[in-house]
Structure 1
Amino acid sequence: MLEISVNRSLRALRALLLSALLVAVGVRASASSPKREMRGVWVATVWGIDWPSCQGADATVRERQQREMSVLLDRCRRLNLTTVCFQVRGMADVMFRSQTEPWSSFVSGRRGTDPGWDPLEWVVAECHARGLECYAWVNPFRWSSGTDYDTPADREWKKRGWLLTHGKYTVFNPGLEDARQHVVDICREIVEGYDIDGLIFDDYFYPNRIPEDKSAPDYGLYMSEAPWMSFGDWRRANVHKTVADVKCMIADTKPYVRFGISPAGVAGKADTSGGKWGEVCVGVKAADWQYGEIYSDPLGMMYQGTVDFVSPQIYWPTTHVTAPYEPLSRWWNVSANLYGSHMYPCVTLERIGQGSLAEHRADLLRQIECNRRVSVDGNLGTMIYSAKFLPKVEGVLAGGPFAFPSLSPCVADGSEDETGRVERLRLRDGELSWRPAAGARRYTVYAVPVEVSPREAMDDSGDGIDAVFLLGVTYEPRMEVGREKGYRYAVCVYTGLSAEGAAVWLE
């Protein structure tokens, strides 16, 4: 039943897009709706922040959870988002079948209890059915925010001495090689076992404000491992080793899977990493707390090429006094471009409900416009936290900056083979289909009014066919396009790193 519902909603959406083409073709909407733009949303599962609203291991709960996710993903598709960041590991508990970590209580109701289905497998399939990318969102080190877990896996980790506690926060100790390798191994399970498009870490590393002196619980380990380094540099190196090892694992396993990190929004201050990696210091008053309190150095990660992209959490409005949005977005853009990384700022909708809804909506539009305007390399993007707030802004996004579909920015690192071409393109009973190209994971589909020639339909920047004609992305060698007359269709191979192959036209 869910599959039938998805197909119906997609057919209706594509019918609307085809109707809109006749209006848009005269004005070439690509100037206000770029062809390449990461449009992501975070789906938080800890404490059921975004999903699910209920927990349990019986069929009734599973069906309700799946219905809720279907509604969420349908909204993402209507909003022309490109990417869903689905939280699959929040506190060393998981939303997939793992050989090493317990099931999350946030899906089954009890840590370690099998919910009777595999949420990650299901969400990936449902995202792809809608042409959406699915990124697995992982909290790399966090174990607990105050709860003492007691599954067999938790007891084993305690026995091995892997856990590091300060205040109410407990993490896997990044200073221990075995603990770091465990993080790499759990990421390997995800990358090898699931058809994800990307993997992203957020900013949970060391416990916040853990002491940097003899009172620290990891002081003895530090002195035995690297007393010639500063305590802080040793901790940052431990975090970076983990990030680098995950990057290498992905490169060896599925090089088309993108790997990124979502750090705190302020970095590169004069008293932290500013100037350390050849970058100009950030010019805002707010502090770079992540460098010396959770021991994260995202500039170093970009400099050393251990991430493909960053999505800094610039969680302040455009009018903020100490951390104004535009200077931070501009600085991150320049920094990422300097190091050859992509940068997709992360904005928050959490303040919705406080003050004027109209002003929150207006500021979101200003932030998206800013992200586009200050980009120095054309790799545009905005990541939205979080999914539960999308209904409040759906109208202004769908009727404004996200009015037309977009593709993720292309990562051209030479790690993929030639894109190839589809063959035997045909249209029958409203379904466009073709013979798959060898090795292709997905495709882009375009509909161009017959009065527009293929040459006239090309993007002015040379990036293939203009975005105004884009119907969407499909992970299958077919797409429902309806029976409306007056269009010629084109299909391109669309690689995991978002490169497009040559268009094949059906006249």
Structure 2
Amino acid sequence: MQTVYKQYIKTQVCEIFIQMKKVLFLILTLFAIQTIKGQTNFNSSLFNFQSSLSPKREVRAVWLTTIGGLDWPHSYAQSPTSITKQKKELQVILDQLKLAGINTVLFQTRIRGTVVYSSDYEPWDGCLSGTPNKSPGYDALGFAIEECHKRGMEIQAWIVTIPMGKWNQEGCKNLRNRYPSLLKRIGEEGFMDMENPQTAQYLANICGEITSKYDIDGIHLDYIRYPETWNIKVLKETGRNHITNIVKAISSKVYGLKPWVKMSCSPIGKFNDLSRYWSHGWNAYHKVCQDAQLWLKDNLMDELYPMMYFKGNQFYPFAIDWSENNYGKTIAPGLGIYFMDPKEKNWSLETITQELNVLRQYHLGNAYFRSKFFTDNLKGLYFFVANNYNRYPALIPAITWRHSIAPTAPQAINIDKVNGKISWSGAKDNSNAPYLLYNIYADSKSPVDINNPGNLVQTRLKEESATIPNNNKLFYAVTAMDRYGNESNAIQEKKHSVYTSKAPLLWLKTNDNSILLSQDIQYTSSFVAIETLQGTPLYTRSIKDNQVNIKGIPQGEYVLKTINKHNKGSLIGYFRITQ
């Protein structure tokens, strides 16, 4: 968390306090209700303040696009120095995503018959080295996986399945030379032939290669459908069978290798026409033969990320339809945040925040297309998500239909609050995956409530130890979690354990709206950070006349730290808001 915090402060601190709390949840709620009230079976009486609370389990994803370096990379890897620079670019992006509560990265791995790893089937894409079919000098996919896992995030390999790009470009030429019957040409573009049974096996081999070689968390299929420019001559039911056969082949390959690896895809955002709402001729089921709801029902998919780049009546009823037909699986609609760009459709921030609130009410996750529009804080969206919508971390829903027996909890815990160390041991994995992950919780009360996401300190740790804040007011608990997402009971810190601290806690004076800092100290920074007792950054505020405005911060206990030019936070003290 410290690494994330430092990077965030470095890139965003100068404006965060201006943007935070710009949009109140109550106003967004009323707008959302007004937008769809009377237009669907939406029950506005259920849409209350609970919808703004962070659930403990929720998919919060982003598509990270590598084609043309749209999201990453923004420089080429052509020397040791430039490799380091390219890697650092990705680390900065992941730090920002982590701080905003993102827990799933959909990382574009197969682009247009080209890839970002060393493959036996397809050439390197040129986005990394600047030259098609040339290695960047390091394993980009392996690096991305390692960095996501360091931050407690899952990463799925995003596979663009059917489009192959320009007919004479590297991806098409490579496949044409090896398997000419797998390609069809439409104008200047090449596409894999969905109606050729060998296409399913070829794509399954690529996904199997990734699953075998890498510690990936999921395979994410994109464009797994008929192209809109394809003249579909077969019956639509036959067309749907062709696409489903490809999905079956890939799922069978992946699950056969590592059954804990998730299968997901991004179907067209509107599944089909609804009884009261027309899809305007653009839907998954009929238009492009994409029977995504069947894939959920038949356990071919664990998650769906419908591309719901719409608003109003083209969004809300169709989002509810996905929720009502999820077959117990996870749905995380993709939001077209790029439409907020004035160069696109200039959507307002409220358009997206309203959609987010409704998705949460219907127990749906969310995904942002695409990463750069999100981390660039387009119209304040990043700050809204980081400071309000995703105030606390979330675990990813477990895929219990694949395995449901939780691990045995850790049997021993050791806590050194003076030196900020915690370790544990003795958990037992009851799955067939190679290792366990661990979640740490902390609270000022004992036993620690592990159902409260506000108590999550660190998630998806692979090691059996971690650093913790030097704070003897907190109690700790640790759970084990298998690769399927099943979480054990917690081992709790004993309530009456006695620890010594290096110095007594300094409680700061407050009035109704401000923290009153000592007049005897001259602070070198104009900003301070406000964190939870567990160490999660929540707000950045300015210092004015040795006072810090805390208006609007909920009741509770918090930590106040300085922010200096080296991006390091020194403890000022603790404060309590009682009403």
Q: Once the 2 structures are TM-superposed, how far is the Cα of residue 435 of structure 1 from its aligned partner?
A: 2.4
Measured in 1, the distance between the counterparts of 2:323 and 2:76 equals 40
- Is residue 454 of structure 2 the alignment partner of residue 468 of structure 1? yes
Change (3 A) 1:485 1:146: farther
- Is residue 386 of structure 2 the alignment partner of residue 398 of structure 1? yes
What secondary structure, in the 3-state scheme, does the structure 1 residue paired with 2:325 have?
Answer: helix
Structure 1 residues 124-167: Cα deviation after superposition (integer angstroms, max 9, x where no partner): 11111111111111112221145432798435335x42211222
Structure 2: which 5+ residue stretches go unaligned? 9-48, 430-434, 495-579
Measured in 1, the distance between the counterparts of 2:122 and 2:344 equals 43
Would you say the 8 A contact 1:349–1:389 is kept in 2? yes
Measured in 2, the distance between the counterparts of 1:501 and 1:30 equals 27
Aligned to 1:128: 149
Change (3 A) 1:349 1:100: same
Q: Once the 2 structures are TM-superposed, how far is the Cα of residue 30 of structure 1 from its aligned partner?
A: 9.7
Would you say the 8 A contact 2:201–2:250 is kept in 1? no
Aligned Cα root-mean-square deviation (Å): 2.7
- Is residue 320 of structure 2 the alignment partner of residue 316 of structure 1? no
Q: Which amino acid aligns with 2:292?
A: P
Would you say the 8 A contact 2:399–2:485 is kept in 1? yes
Change (3 A) 1:106 1:479: same
Aligned to 1:211: 231
Measured in 1, the distance between the counterparts of 2:207 and 2:72 equals 22
Equivalent in 225, 244, 264 of residue 248 of structure 2? 244
Structure 1 residues 306-345: Cα deviation after superposition (integer angstroms, max 9, x where no partner): 111211111012x3x5x1x211111111111xx3322111
Written as runs of structure 1 = structure 2, the 5 A alignment for 1:100-499 is 100-145=121-166, 147-149=168-170, 153-158=174-179, 160-213=180-233, 230-269=234-273, 281=275, 283-317=277-311, 319=312, 323=314, 325-336=315-326, 339-354=327-342, 360-375=348-363, 380-390=364-374, 391-392=376-377, 393-415=381-403, 417-428=405-416, 429-435=419-425, 437-439=427-429, 440-449=435-444, 452-454=445-447, 457-458=448-449, 464-473=450-459, 474-499=461-486
Measured in 2, the distance between the counterparts of 1:447 and 1:60 equals 41
Return the structure number with greater relative CO, CA threshold 8 A, min gap 6: 1
Change (3 A) 1:359 1:264: closer
Aligned to 1:219: none
Would you say the 8 A contact 2:166–2:172 is kept in 1? no
Structure 1 residues 342-372: Cα deviation after superposition (integer angstroms, max 9, x where no partner): 2111101112222899963222211111001
Q: Which amino acid aligns with 1:253?
A: L
Q: Which amino acid aligns with 1:165?
A: R
Structure 1: which 5+ residue stretches go unaligned? 1-5, 14-27, 214-229, 270-279, 459-463
Q: Which amino acid aligns with 1:243?
A: V
What secondary structure, in the 3-state scheme, does the structure 2 residue paired with 1:103 have?
Answer: coil
Aligned to 2:504: none
Q: Which amino acid aligns with 2:272?
A: G
Q: Once the 2 structures are TM-superposed, how far is the Cα of residue 40 of structure 1 from its aligned partner?
A: 0.6
Point out the structure with the larger strand share: 2
Change (3 A) 1:281 1:477: farther
What secondary structure, in the 3-state scheme, does the structure 1 residue paired with 2:209 have?
Answer: helix
Change (3 A) 1:151 1:305: closer
What secondary structure, in the 3-state scheme, does the structure 2 residue paired with 1:399 have?
Answer: helix
Measured in 1, the distance between the counterparts of 2:402 and 2:221 equals 24
Measured in 2, the distance between the counterparts of 1:356 and 1:136 equals 28
Would you say the 8 A contact 2:341–2:347 is kept in 1? no
Written as runs of structure 1 = structure 2, the 5 A alignment for 1:10-89 is 32-89=53-110
Q: TM-score, normalised by structure 1?
A: 0.81
Aligned to 2:564: none
Identity %: 23
Select the structure of larger CA radius of gyration.
Answer: 2
Would you say the 8 A contact 1:448–1:489 is kept in 2? yes
Q: Which amino acid aligns with 1:472?
A: Q
Q: Which amino acid aligns with 1:87?
A: Q
Would you say the 8 A contact 2:162–2:223 is kept in 1? no
How many pairs align? 442
Q: Once the 2 structures are TM-superposed, how far is the Cα of residue 61 of structure 1 from its aligned partner?
A: 2.5
Would you say the 8 A contact 1:133–1:197 is kept in 2? yes
Measured in 2, the distance between the counterparts of 1:53 and 1:406 equals 30
